[in-house]
Amino acid sequence: MSHIQIKSLKKSFGIVDAVKNINFDIDDGQFVVLVGPSGCGKTTTLRMLAGFEDPTDGEILIGENVVNDIEPGKRGIGMVFQNHALFPNKTVEDNIKFGLRMKKVSASEMEQKVAEVSELVQIGHLLKKMPFQCSGGESQRIALARTLVTEPQIFLLDEPLSSLDAKLRRELRAECGRIHKELGKTFIYVTHDQEEAMTLADKIVIMNKGDIEQIGTPDEIYNNPKNFFVADFFGSPSMN
C-alpha cells in the first residue's frame, strides 16, 4: 500500500523557509497535483518525498513507515525529471534498462518489461535510437518509460511537460492521465500550470510561499476558493 502522510513538514535553507510546516495525505492510487507559482515550495516538497532533500522538521510516512531516513532507492518511488535526465551515450533501450540492471533483473525479464512499457508509452520505434535523435516529446516519453519499467508504487513527476510546446503538452498530459488510470498507482505531479492541475488531478494542493493555501478537488478549488490568492491563481468566478 502507498498511502502517504505528510506531517508538519518543514525545509529551511539557511534563514529561508522553503516549506513551512505543511500537512496533507495522499490516498493509494490518487493523482495529486502540487501547484503554485515559482518558488512556492512544491518542487522542494517533491524532492523531500523522493529522498533527495532531508526535511528540517516533520515526518513523511509511506504506508505505516516513516521514511525520512530511508534512502531514495528503497522508498518504492520513481521520479520523472523536468530535464528528462537521459544518458546521452546510451540508446533509448539501454536508458530504459538502466534501473532494471541496477536491480539485477534477468535478461529475459528485462526484454519483456521493456517491450511492455514501450508499448504502454508508444516508443517501440525509438528503442535503437540515441537520445539526441529524439524530439522533446519523445524524450519525455522515454523518461517516463524508464521510471515505469521499475514498477514503483509511487510516481513523482516534476514539471515534466514544462519545456514542451502547447500541442505536445496537451498530448502528453492526456497520456499521463491514461497511464495513471491503466496502472492505478499513486501519481504526485508538480506544475505551475493551472490547466494541467485541473485536467489531471483527483486532488490539488495549492502552495504559495512555502505554505498550503488550499487542498481540494478541481471542482472544489474552482467553485469554492478559500481565499483571494486561490481565486486569482485559478481565475475562479466564485470570489471577486
Domains present along the chain, CATH in parentheses: 29-55+67-76+155-240 (3.40.50.300), 86-151 (no CATH)
pLDDT, tens digit, 9 for 90 and up, residues 68-83: 999 998 898 999 887 7
pLDDT, tens digit, 9 for 90 and up, residues 195-210: 999 999 999 999 999 9
> What is the pLDDT, as a whole number, of residue 240?
41
* Cα angle 159, 162, 166; round to 5: 140
Q: Whose CA is closest to 210, among 90, 66, 63, 44?
A: 44
What is the Cα–Cα distance from 45 to 2, expressed in whole angstroms?
17
**238 vs 62, more confident:** 62
The answer to which of 36-40, 121-125, 188-192 has the lowest mean pLDDT is 121-125
pLDDT, tens digit, 9 for 90 and up, residues 50-64: 999 999 999 999 999
Which set of grid coordinates corresponds to residue 102? 541496477
> What is the pLDDT, as a whole number, of residue 239?
44
What is the spatial order of strands in the sheet that 31-35 belongs to?
77-80, 154-158, 186-191, 31-35, 203-208, 211-216
